[in-house]
Structure 1
Amino acid sequence: MHVFSLITLHCCFQPWTLSWLSAEAMKSTISKNSLESSLRQLECHFKWDLQKQDVDLDDLEETIGDQIEFLMKANITNYNLLSYVCHLKNMNEEALRNLQKAEEEIKINHPHEIARRSLVTWGNYAWIYYYMERYEEAQTYVSKVENSCKKLSSTAQWKIQLPEIYAEQGWALLKFGGKYYKRAKNCFENALKSEPNNPEFNAGYAIAMYRLEDFSHRQYEDISQSLKPLKRAVELNPKDTFIMALLALKLQDFNKVNEGERYIEEAMQKTPDLPYLLRYAAKFYRRKGEVDKALEILKKALAVTPKSAFLHHQLGLCYRAKLFQLKRTTRYPPQDQVEELIQLSIFHFETATEQKTKFFSAHIDLAKMYAQAKRYEEAEERFQKAFQINILSYHDKQEFFYHYGNFQCNHMKSESEAIRYYTEGLKIEEDSYARNKCIEALKKLLERRIQGGLGDAADFGTLGLIHSLSGEKHEAIECYETAIALSPDNENYLSALCELRLSISS
């Protein structure tokens, strides 16, 4: 009877229990779906399409940590970005701790604007709690954002466009690399529409312009657009010595070395121990030819940030510059000095690549220095490592093809391989300094082969392509006609020739 009663009792309650569980599951699903819809409206790092495959997350985390330690400014944006990086690394508890630090910074620096200044932080909280499946807490922060937006704006609940949010997005985009620089520039432009004299927004805009020019490797006459914004940013905040250093380098680009040096010297008086200034000051003096002074500055900076890949790379460049200087000025340079400079350069390039495994330029420079030392197997291995980095831009790839083509031509003595790689760089249809160098090297090599009677159909066809890209249509036609005479059935040459003839006749 006792067992029967238990079974009866269980059977009686089972449908109700299942019904209750289904209702709760449905309620949870509805809640989660509505939460997802709200989350997509939040202006924060999770909305800004910052892809982890575009950066080295460990390096970015270290960079943000250094900036928090050394740059004398409110770190709200840094802690918010660091929380997002921690999330990308599956460290959500650490992400939450960084958001708490962002909140503390807001209370200290903006005690009368806590809601306005917390919107990005609260948005990040909501997303992180959502990914942790803590939906109630996520909803709490969604509601905080929604209520604050209603108070701050008379428009629709999410449609608040604050200049500081544009700026914060701009700073985050800058940190994620070259493909984001144009978007970063647009963000700072939007921020400046509301506050044209804001020093921080002007600094962000100037840096975005500088980075965009540097990233695109444009020719000399096209790299002047950041000069005015940099000067404006320095005028608005003369204490920002990092911006002063960038302005000095830009002035140096235009051979205004004395004016640039005045900014560097003034900046070094104001913040003599700031590693972010010292690294660019050293770059300025290396480019000026004062390599020993650059080395002195870099060693001082390295004592403050010994793990800086950037500093080790700059040290490697300095020792390489001394090596080339020695070879230029001495007919028979002492072999022991040559060996020492090569080894010092290799050491610092190797250290840079160990500290920052996806440091493309350091890998390329190390490969070139191995080649200088006639360590060709290691050079080949390093070139391949550089090309396998998974965050390369089109410009990086063009640079790889140019330098690897040089390696094949000058060290491996293989003209055919050099032609192959220069051509690969040429095929990437993005205008850049490296692509132009590929064209120059390829044209020189092909013309030498043809003049020496070694030119084949492929050589004439490639030279035809170069002339065509340079707008030299008649020369291109001549090359393609010769290529077809040597290889009558090649459809690519026939097609290119046909297009060129049509373009002339039309």
Structure 2
Amino acid sequence: MSEAPKDSLEAALKQLSCPFTWHLFEEEPTLKNLEEKISNGLGFSCPQTGASGHNLLAYLKHLQGCDEEALSCLRRAEELTRQEHPGQADARNLVTWGSYAWLYYRLGRRKESRAYLDKVAQTCGRLASPYRIDCPEMDCEEGWARLKCGGPHAERAKACFERALERDPSRLELQVGRAVATCVQEEARAWKNQSPDLLRQALALDPGNDYLKVVLALKLQKMKDEAEGEKLVEEALAGAPSVGVLRLAAKFYRKRGSMDKALEVFKEVMERQPPTSSLYHQIGCCYRTLANQLLQQPKVAGTREKVLELRNLALEYLEKAVGESGCYPNMYSDLASMYAALGQQEKAEAIFQKVLRMGHLTDGEKQQLHQRYGSFQEIFRGQEDVAIHHYLEGVKIKEKSMEYEKIMSKLHELAAHQGDRKPSSLQGWRLLGFLAKQKEEEQLAMEHYEKALGILLQHFPSGIGSLFPVPPPPEAERVPGDQEANAADPDGGVSGPPSRGSPEGTDIALLREG
């Protein structure tokens, strides 16, 4: 066949349905870390979705300029499609062939690009558009690809599975996909009214699916039903669990506070796959939390030595995490906090400064960094004003997260503390005014600012200060969720020590998984 003009070839390529036309990563600030994020995502480990995962990785490899690796991923996707979906191989391979066509086109190999376009056209048959077919298989492939990209794509993924179910309501894979997409969507949006019903229904149809068992277990854990969740995890681990199932099981144990069990499972993962920054980080976090748990127990002979041993193990793995490609900013701040806990303040400061200079941080990462660095300055450096500055920067980021609650709680505490230390308590009332304004309590904010203004004006020679009664120092105010936000939590941030300025009792807690 003679080569088509470049414009007509590109017009045909735009009609294809594949990762090159789904615009999956347009909102990502950077491609760094995406591969590990996708590989560790909730949707990546589901059985019978290996081909869609390799299609997605091929697109990502191309965006990173690794085109030979991208071609290797597409070859692996074709192979897995034949294994996973022998009866639907042609329809499912349309996505892979579309990616081949786009990749060869981008490489300037128009002949190969046209050859794969022809394969797509032959499979689609004589339809209104020769390069796209409307069928459940295509919706399913797009649904899994979007689901593997994480929470922001879960709603679109769910819509793909629901559209496919309208035409093929009995297909188990579609029901599993919809259930997992719903779970990821609820987690991403932190919906209060979450339900495990779809996951239960999918598991009832596929009772041997270990992946669904651990996903449902994590959902039940979130809903405070750990007993049933643990039974499901134990069932999943009793068989021949995949690496993906092991990682989710370890996550369950870590969230439960069973660090020894989590470490056992994480180390089994490490024996079965090359170590990654995420895996090193999670193991370091487990050792960190074991040390924190030991500090909460009655002191016995050897406690100090054991805590130091666990902290050094945590440091070892956290250093390995930042030494691998694909590490996240929170891994650096975890390492900095660990150096601080071990008394190496200058190293901690240097690492925090490195992260503060990083570009392409998301709002959530910036907020988390300001919360952690503020805690470091307050607890280990004694720089309360610097800490307040960073807490305020974190609050200004309108990301309602665990870190946001921690910062709000800490600022209320510091407002009262400043009132105790400073007779004028000006800063304390200004802080309370700012916090009330952040919570959109305009009347309360105005009252606090008026008190601050009264203190500011009381010594003016004009006597205007007499119009404003001098208020007493502000008292500590609790904000909703304080107790939970400040508890020792393996997924939290840096919380204060039992006595101000005592690093030994400080809980340098660890971040949740990406």
With the shorter chain as reference, the TM-score category is 0.7 to 0.9
1:355 Cα offset (Å) = 2.7
Matched with 2:56 is: 81
1:477 matched to 2:446? The reply is: yes
Equivalent-residue separation in structure 2 for 1:482 and 1:142 (angstroms): 72
1:317 matched to 2:285? The reply is: yes
Selected match of 2:13 from 22, 29, 39: 39
Distance of aligned partners of 1:105 and 1:301 in 2 relative to their CA distance in 1, 3 Å threshold: closer
Q: For 1:351-500, what aligned pairs fall within 5 Å after superposition?
A: 351-387=320-356, 392-453=361-422, 460-484=429-453
Matched with 2:295 is: 327
Whether the 8 Å CA contact 1:54–1:176 is kept in 2: the answer is no
1:45 Cα offset (Å) = 0.8
1:424 Cα offset (Å) = 1.3
TM-score, normalisation: structure 1:
0.78
Equivalent-residue separation in structure 2 for 1:34 and 1:454 (angstroms): 77
Q: 1:337 is paired with a residue of what secondary structure?
A: helix
1:373 Cα offset (Å) = 0.9
Equivalent-residue separation in structure 1 for 2:199 and 2:424 (angstroms): 50
Equivalent-residue separation in structure 2 for 1:90 and 1:293 (angstroms): 40
1:214 Cα offset (Å) = 4.3
Whether the 8 Å CA contact 2:12–2:131 is kept in 1: the answer is no
TM-score, normalisation: structure 2:
0.77
1:118 partner letter = N
Q: For 1:249-288, what aligned pairs fall within 5 Å after superposition?
A: 249-272=218-241, 274-288=242-256
1:440 partner letter = S
1:462 Cα offset (Å) = 4.2
> Kindly, what percent of the aligned residue pairs are identical?
35
1:73 partner letter = Q
Matched with 2:215 is: 246
Matched with 2:176 is: 203
Selected match of 1:92 from 63, 67, 74: 67
Q: 2:77 is paired with a residue of what secondary structure?
A: helix
1:59 Cα offset (Å) = 4.3
Whether the 8 Å CA contact 2:82–2:89 is kept in 1: the answer is yes
Distance of aligned partners of 1:244 and 1:108 in 2 relative to their CA distance in 1, 3 Å threshold: closer
1:32 Cα offset (Å) = 0.9
Q: 1:56 is paired with a residue of what secondary structure?
A: coil
Q: Single out whichever of 373-382 and 223-232 deviates more from structure 2.
A: 223-232
Whether the 8 Å CA contact 1:206–1:233 is kept in 2: the answer is yes
Equivalent-residue separation in structure 2 for 1:178 and 1:398 (angstroms): 19
Whether the 8 Å CA contact 2:150–2:184 is kept in 1: the answer is no
Matched with 2:124 is: 149
1:122 matched to 2:90? The reply is: no
Whether the 8 Å CA contact 1:188–1:205 is kept in 2: the answer is yes
Matched with 2:156 is: 183
Equivalent-residue separation in structure 1 for 2:148 and 2:423 (angstroms): 49
Matched with 2:199 is: 230
Distance of aligned partners of 1:132 and 1:455 in 2 relative to their CA distance in 1, 3 Å threshold: farther
Count, aligned residues: 451
Distance of aligned partners of 1:430 and 1:296 in 2 relative to their CA distance in 1, 3 Å threshold: closer
Equivalent-residue separation in structure 2 for 1:392 and 1:235 (angstroms): 42
Q: Single out whichever of 247-256 and 228-237 deviates more from structure 2.
A: 228-237
Distance of aligned partners of 1:196 and 1:406 in 2 relative to their CA distance in 1, 3 Å threshold: farther
1:486 Cα offset (Å) = 6.7
Equivalent-residue separation in structure 1 for 2:394 and 2:88 (angstroms): 52
Equivalent-residue separation in structure 2 for 1:310 and 1:176 (angstroms): 17
Distance of aligned partners of 1:191 and 1:433 in 2 relative to their CA distance in 1, 3 Å threshold: farther
Q: 1:411 is paired with a residue of what secondary structure?
A: helix
Distance of aligned partners of 1:201 and 1:112 in 2 relative to their CA distance in 1, 3 Å threshold: closer
Matched with 1:499 is: none
1:311 partner letter = L
Equivalent-residue separation in structure 2 for 1:303 and 1:108 (angstroms): 26
Whether the 8 Å CA contact 1:83–1:94 is kept in 2: the answer is yes
Q: 2:116 is paired with a residue of what secondary structure?
A: helix
1:266 Cα offset (Å) = 0.7
Q: 2:24 is paired with a residue of what secondary structure?
A: coil
Matched with 1:133 is: 108
Equivalent-residue separation in structure 2 for 1:291 and 1:109 (angstroms): 35
Matched with 1:504 is: none
Q: 2:5 is paired with a residue of what secondary structure?
A: helix
Distance of aligned partners of 1:394 and 1:234 in 2 relative to their CA distance in 1, 3 Å threshold: farther
Selected match of 1:49 from 19, 23, 27: 23
2:252 partner letter = F
Distance of aligned partners of 1:377 and 1:481 in 2 relative to their CA distance in 1, 3 Å threshold: same
1:376 partner letter = Q
1:168 matched to 2:106? The reply is: no
Distance of aligned partners of 1:389 and 1:116 in 2 relative to their CA distance in 1, 3 Å threshold: farther
Equivalent-residue separation in structure 1 for 2:435 and 2:337 (angstroms): 26
1:309 partner letter = S
Equivalent-residue separation in structure 2 for 1:178 and 1:355 (angstroms): 25
Which structure 1 residue ranges, 5 or more long, are not aligned?
A: 1-26, 489-506
Whether the 8 Å CA contact 1:404–1:421 is kept in 2: the answer is yes
2:32 partner letter = D
Question: Greater share of helix residues, 1 or 2?
Answer: 1
1:159 Cα offset (Å) = 5.8
Q: Single out whichever of 463-472 and 40-49 deviates more from structure 2.
A: 463-472
Q: Which has the larger radius of gyration?
A: 1
Equivalent-residue separation in structure 2 for 1:472 and 1:43 (angstroms): 49
Whether the 8 Å CA contact 2:176–2:202 is kept in 1: the answer is yes
1:487 Cα offset (Å) = 7.3
1:101 matched to 2:66? The reply is: no
Which structure 2 residue ranges, 5 or more long, are not aligned?
A: 458-514
Equivalent-residue separation in structure 1 for 2:37 and 2:370 (angstroms): 30
1:269 Cα offset (Å) = 1.1
Equivalent-residue separation in structure 2 for 1:367 and 1:214 (angstroms): 28
Matched with 2:314 is: 345
Distance of aligned partners of 1:439 and 1:373 in 2 relative to their CA distance in 1, 3 Å threshold: same
Q: Deviations over 1:300-324 (max 9, x none)?
A: 3322225143332232222122211
Distance of aligned partners of 1:357 and 1:104 in 2 relative to their CA distance in 1, 3 Å threshold: closer
1:478 Cα offset (Å) = 1.0
Equivalent-residue separation in structure 2 for 1:205 and 1:487 (angstroms): 59
